[in-house]
Amino acid sequence: MKKVNSEVYQPAVKNINKILEILDYDYSQEVQTSLKFNNAFELLVATILSAQSTDKLVNKVTPTLFKKYKSIKDFAQADITELEKDIKSTGFYHNKAKSIKACAEKLLKDYNSQIPDKIEELVKLPGVGRKTANVLLANYYKKPAIIVDTHVLRISQRLGLTINKDADKIEQDLMKIIPKEKWSNFSHQIIAHGRTICNAKKPKCSVCKLLKYCWFGQENLYQPNS
């Protein structure tokens, strides 16, 4: 993807409220993660498992996983090799098992098994970056949070809301543009838009209602060879 200059991406920034209205209309004003969970720690584990995987696949694994390991203590005391086998189908299971077990151990030791509700504390947990922390803040604690997953990263660049490639920098860019009360909804709506319209390989630009404000879509649709 070429670097977008300010003349190209300013239309999207200036019309952000119209973009938000379209997203509200098409994907409803109240959307949330498709990960299945019953409490904060289950959501934390499910989000760690979702890295380089899909929510659909994670949702197949977690019901059995959470029946076997019923508490934070159970995960902290889990045999690492057995835990790896339990989550193997989600991919990258060595690192994920290590992170989940270490996260549970730290929660027991330093947080009395209570899941923090502040990003500054959440990112201190093993395996928890800003994306995972923001998933928890938005979906469990119902706090405003920008979740920069692959869809949000890709579409924010395509729209021209950011010229950055680093997820943390993109989060900061979006926080300056999107009204705070819209942060969580915007994240989930863009994720939904990425799954239905603006996919990575074959975006459906011709039917995208954001086309008017999207430099990438207009180039892709009208100048495919440029």
In this predicted model, what pLDDT tens digit does every residue of 99-155 receive, in sequence order?
A: 999 999 999 999 999 999 999 999 999 999 999 999 999 999 999 999 999 999 999
What's the average model confidence in pLDDT over 3-23?
76
Please name the residue that has the structure tokens 């926080």.
Answer: 175
The pLDDT tens digits for 155-194 are 999 999 999 999 999 999 999 999 999 999 999 999 999 9
CA dist., res. 104 & res. 113, Å (int):
8
pLDDT over 90 at 11, yes or no: no
Catalytic residue of the set 86, 131, 173, 182? 131
- Predicted local confidence at residue 8, as pLDDT: 42
- Predicted local confidence at residue 221, as pLDDT: 82
Active site residue 74: no
Q: Kindly report the number of other CB atoms within 10 A of residue 190's CB atom.
A: 28
Catalytic residue of the set 86, 96, 149, 182? 149
Domains of the chain: 6-31+146-220 (1.10.1670.10), 40-139 (1.10.340.30)
* Cβ contact 117:137 at 8 Å: yes
- Predicted local confidence at residue 222, as pLDDT: 74
- Predicted local confidence at residue 214, as pLDDT: 93
- Predicted local confidence at residue 30, as pLDDT: 63
- Predicted local confidence at residue 223, as pLDDT: 66
- Predicted local confidence at residue 136, as pLDDT: 97
Active site residue 149: yes
Instruction: Please give the angle made by the CA atoms of 115, 121 and 124, to the nearest 5 degrees.
Output: 100
Q: Kindly report the number of other CB atoms within 10 A of residue 212's CB atom.
A: 14
CA dist., res. 41 & res. 66, Å (int):
10
- Predicted local confidence at residue 29, as pLDDT: 62
The pLDDT tens digits for 33-88 are 999 999 999 999 999 999 999 999 999 999 999 999 999 999 999 999 999 999 99
